Amino acid sequence: MIIINLKNYKIGPAVLDLVRQIDIYCNKAILAVPLLEMKEIVKETTLPVFAQHVDYFEPGKSTGYIIPEAIKQAGAQGAIINHSEHKLTFSEIKKTVERCRELELKTIICAATLKQTEQIKKLNPYAIAFEDPKLIGTGKSITMQKANLVQKFAKILEGTSIIPLCGAGINSGDDVAQALILGCKGVLVSSVVANSQNPERFLKEIGNLF
């Protein structure tokens, strides 16, 4: 499994062009996309689309929040929760998972530590992505820099239905292969695709791994 978080690196026609490239070279990816681009992206691709964030609030008096009903109507199959660039408290994570579950939306929850992984595990999300915030966007892969922690993380989720993912600094097919060796079932990436002048290079490298 590969989750490609497009963040806000590109908007409008540029993000649609990138989605088409991903569709060609890595047609098993899951895309995490900006909410305002979501409906258009869903029309352009057969790939599963997730929101980059969602809140637990309900329809009504919830100005400025992204409610689960909105992302579902826009075509999302789920959402990333607690990314290092959009941190939540455990209470907020729990409420958000519960709201998404009501609407049959999948949740991928980011965890920065093994302790946090143990806590999030109790919520039984679709997947947990183990990321070291200090490595995000650095080109220094967590699979190389923190291999021991990644392996321990994967072991925490053994015997559960939760999919173990890792991310941060992943920038080559070798990094992805190492993640699988360490016990993860996939990766969460961003800048190597969304902020690259040549995203095809990485997409071609990992296209046959999943």
**Which residues are annotated as catalytic?**
83, 131
Strand extents, DSSP E, the chain: 2-5, 29-33, 49-51, 78-81, 106-111, 127-131, 163-167, 186-189
> C-alpha angle 192/197/201, rounded to 5°?
60
Residue 82 to residues 18, 111, 130, 136, 178: CA-CA distances in angstroms? 25, 7, 11, 14, 24
Helix (H, G, I), strand (E, B) or coil at 130: strand
> How far is C-alpha 202 from the chain's CA centre?
17
Question: Tokens 């490595």, residue?
Answer: 135
